[in-house]
Amino acid sequence: MGDHSIIDLMLMASPIVQLVMAILVFMSISAWAIALAKSHQMRKAKRWMTEFETIFWDSEDLGQLYRQAAQKDPAELKGLERLFEAGFQEFVRLKNQGVQDANDLMSASHRAMKIALGRETERLEHRLSYLATVGSSAPYIGLFGTVIGVIHAFQALGDSPSMTLAAIAPGIAEALLATGMGLFAAIPAVIYYNSLTNRADRLLSEYEHFAEEFLAILQRQAHAS
């Protein structure tokens, strides 16, 4: 048994345990793919947020900044720019309709930005739940393979005329391998889920702070007019 590789052990496992291992391999690969993709998405979102904040606070004419955002395709708007465009669009729309009450203007802009923030939340948190699912279910799927492997080990022991390690080694090997694969799939998924969730929460918190500061600016403009 010592000369066998992990692939050899997988090929020598029983069909049920092989199915369990195949499920765990799929879960592990898909979890890694999602984790890396979401990590890349978070980095881009952070960079876009920093870039737009710089442009926003350096801008002397928010109306011009809004017109530039409004001319873009909606799919080109990113992060804070979507919040800004949604809030300012509602502000301008009501102003053009003759609404002068500052509270009405602020309430409408706040609702528009809240909707935009909800969409950003969905984008940032999309597919993170899959990592949580892998992290919570993979060990139990691996445990199922472990139980099957142990059963096979005892069956082999009962069928063997002599109680030797060689008789039970294949069953024990597939049992331990199923356990290890379950943990290998689950541990990175849990780590990435916690890390990415924290990063998403921090980004969304900064989005909310920007929305509050932007509303304060709009409120001053509403009172000034």
Least confident of 34-43, 128-137, 173-182, 207-216: 173-182
pLDDT-wise least confident of 71-85, 148-162, 198-212: 148-162
Structure confidence at residue 4 (pLDDT): 63
1, pLDDT greater than 60: no
- Over residues 60-85, the mean pLDDT reads 91
pTM of model > 0.85: yes
List helix spans (H) across the chain.
6-12, 15-58, 62-70, 80-96, 102-125, 128-159, 165-224
Band (166; pLDDT cuts 50, 70, 90): low
Residue 33 pLDDT > 80, yes or no?
A: yes
Cα distance between residue 147 and residue 197, in whole Å? 33
pLDDT of 2 higher than 60: no
d(CA 115, CA 112): 5
> Taking 80 as the threshold, does the pLDDT of residue 159 lie above it?
no
Q: Where are the domains of the chain?
A: 10-51+61-224
pLDDT of residue 165: 60
pLDDT interval class at 210 (50, 70, 90)? very high
Is residue 134 pLDDT above 90, yes or no? yes
Rounded to a whole number of angstroms, the distance between the first and last alpha carbons of the chain is: 83
Amino acid 167: pLDDT: 60
| Predicted local distance difference test score (pLDDT) of residue 163 | 59
Mean pLDDT over each residue of the chain, to the nearest integer = 90
Give the residue, 158 or 79, on which the prediction is more confident. Answer: 79
Print burial letters for 51-84: b (CB count within 10 Å at least 16), e (below 16).
Answer: ebeeebeeeeebeebbeebeeeeeeebbbbbbbb
Residue listed under structure tokens 């801008």: 59
